[in-house]
């Protein structure tokens, strides 16, 4: 999530994320789970945080 938030509102691809944290099935499962929970939105192999999540990040709540 943090890697996607770094470049919001731009999209990050799953291969891009894998290059930064290492390829694994865990990354794919985590991305799918975050999409299911409504925290990430997807467009093909690209993902980005949803608008409400990006807004919460900007608020810097403790």
Spatial strand order of the sheet with 12-13 comes to: 12-13, 46-49, 40-43
Q: Specify the pTM.
A: 0.84
What confidence tens digit (pLDDT) does each residue in 9-49 have? 999 999 999 999 887 889 999 999 999 999 999 999 999 99
> What domains can be seen in the chain, in order of their start residue?
2-59 (1.10.10.10)
In the prediction, which pLDDT does 62 show? 66
Strand 12-13, strand 40-43: pairing: unpaired
In the prediction, which pLDDT does 58 show? 87
Say which residues have a Cβ less than 8 Å from residue 46's Cβ, sequence separation at least 6: 11, 12, 13, 14
């Amino acid at each position: 999530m943090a890697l996607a938030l770094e470049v919001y509102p731009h999209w990050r691809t799953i291969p891009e994320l894998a290059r930064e944290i290492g390829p694994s099935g865990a990354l794919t499962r985590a991305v799918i789970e975050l999409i299911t929970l409504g925290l990430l939105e997807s467009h093909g192999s690209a993902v980005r945080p949803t608008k409400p999540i990006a807004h919460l990040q900007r608020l810097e709540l403790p």
